[in-house]
Amino acid sequence: MPKPSRRDLFRASLAGIGGLRLRGADAEKARVGFVASSHSKLARPSPAEDALDYPRVREMVWRAIEYGRPRAGSLEAKIRPGSWVVIKPNIIGLPPRRTYRTGDVTDLRVTKAVLEYVAAKSRAARITVAEGGSYRRIGDPAPDNRMTQNGVQVDALTADWGGEFAGLNGSLGDVLQEARERFPGKRFDYIDLAYDPARDESGQFQWMEVPRSPNGAGAFGEKPVYVMARTVLDCDFLISVPVMKCHTMCGVTGCLKNYVGTAPRIVYTTPGSFSNNELHSKHSLEGRIDSFIVDLAAFHPPDYSVVDAIRGLQYNEHRIDRPDQEMRSNLVMAGEDPVAIDTLAASIMGFQPHDIEYLHMASQRQMGTMDLRRVEVTGDEPDRFRRAWGKPNNWYGRCNRTWLVTQDPQAEMKGWERHTTVSDTLHCTRWRPPASDDAVYRAAARVVSEGARKAFLWVGARGRITAFLNGEKVMEEEGLTRYRVGQFQKAVELRPGENLLVFELKPAGGTGDLSALLVGPRNDGDTVEGIRWSA
| CA pair distance 87, 130, nearest whole angstrom | 6
Task: Tell me if the pTM is above 0.85.
Answer: yes
Q: Which of 10-14, 64-68, 215-219, 441-445 has the lowest mean pLDDT?
A: 10-14
Q: Where in the chain is the domain with CATH 2.60.120.260?
A: 402-534
| CA pair distance 131, 195, nearest whole angstrom | 10
Q: Which pLDDT score is estimated for 26?
A: 44
Q: Please, what's the largest Cα pairwise distance for the chain?
A: 80
The span from the first CA to the last CA of the chain, in angstroms, equals: 42
**Average of pLDDT values for 144-164?**
95
Half-sphere exposure (Cβ direction) of 43: Cα atoms closer than 13 Å: 11
Q: Which pLDDT score is estimated for 96?
A: 87
Q: What secondary structure letter does DSSP report for 446?
A: E
| CA pair distance 104, 318, nearest whole angstrom | 6
Among 309, 344, 340, 303, residue whose Cα is nearest residue 60: 309
Half-sphere exposure (Cβ direction) of 168: Cα atoms closer than 13 Å: 24
Q: Which pLDDT score is estimated for 40?
A: 97
Backbone φ and ψ for 404, nearest 5 degrees, come out as: -110, 125
Among 106, 135, 122, residue whose Cα is nearest residue 65: 122
Among 2, 38, 7, residue whose Cα is nearest residue 369: 7
Domain 402-534 adopts which CATH fold? Jelly Rolls (2.60.120)
DSSP 72-130: TSSHHHHS-TT-EEEEEE-----TTSTT--TTSS--HHHHHHHHHHHHHHS--SEEEEE
Among 380, 312, 409, residue whose Cα is nearest residue 106: 312
| CA pair distance 156, 91, nearest whole angstrom | 7
pLDDT tops 60 at residue 529: yes
| Confidence grade of residue 28 (pLDDT, cut at 50, 70, 90) | confident
pLDDT tops 90 at residue 6: no
Distance of CA 240 to the CA centre of its chain: 12
